[in-house]
Amino acid sequence: MEEKFDKLISLIEEQNKAWAHTVNALTSIHNIMVENYRKQELLLEKHPPVREPTNEPVTVGNREQPQPFNSFSDSQPYGTDIEEEKNAEAQSFPVAPNTQPVQRQQAPTPPPNPPMEGERVVSLEQPKQEEPLPAPQSKAEMLERQVTLPNS
């Protein structure tokens, strides 16, 4: 009976040693991962990103600033800045921040043509097409056909 107990005790001790090795391996893996996370955090502290996306627009003074890049988490959907540039009025110089916006007067548009009253005339005949002139044979013919002569 004592032999069986001794054998059981030795098996339990071997199992405890195996568990100790496993715990040591898991602890070392955990320490390595924590060190990597700390290195990444220190790297981000030393070299922060250009700008983190926010829900509020970035302003300098009272003017809204364009977003430096467009990622999927930006507050504006992709392409809105391009659409704004397409629809913007042409300006030779950027507007100064202290100036009031100038309202431009639009030229009066002519009234639309009054609608024609009466019946629409439909002709069954083909419209007459002018026959093209044959290709000129000489420079003199080309000059004869030319309507406006260039000033020399």
Map residue 36 onto helix, strand or coil. Answer: helix
Q: Region of 140 please: left (phi>0), alpha (psi -120 to 50) or beta.
A: alpha
Task: Taking residues 133-149, report their average pLDDT.
Answer: 79
Helix/strand/coil percent split, the chain, to 5: 40, 5, 60
Coil, helix or strand at residue 39 = helix
Inter-residue contact 97 to 63 (CB < 8 Å): yes
Tell me the pLDDT band of 146, cut-offs 50, 70 and 90: confident
Does residue 108 belong to any structural domain of this protein? no
Task: Please count the structural domains in the chain.
Answer: 2
State whether 60 and 20 are in the same domain.
no
The structure's pTM equals 0.32
| Stretch among 4-8, 27-31, 32-36, 123-127 having the lowest mean pLDDT | 123-127
Model pLDDT for residues 60-107, shown as the tens digit of each residue? 777 776 665 555 555 666 677 677 777 777 777 666 666 665 555 555
Q: Specify if 77 maps to a domain.
A: yes
Confidence grade of residue 143 (pLDDT, cut at 50, 70, 90):
confident
Domain of residue 26: give its range.
1-48
Checking if the pLDDT of 27 tops 90, the result is yes
Q: Based on the fold, state whether residues 17 and 43 are members of the same structural domain.
A: yes
| Residue 51 CB partners (closer than 8 Å, separation 6+) | 58, 67, 68, 69
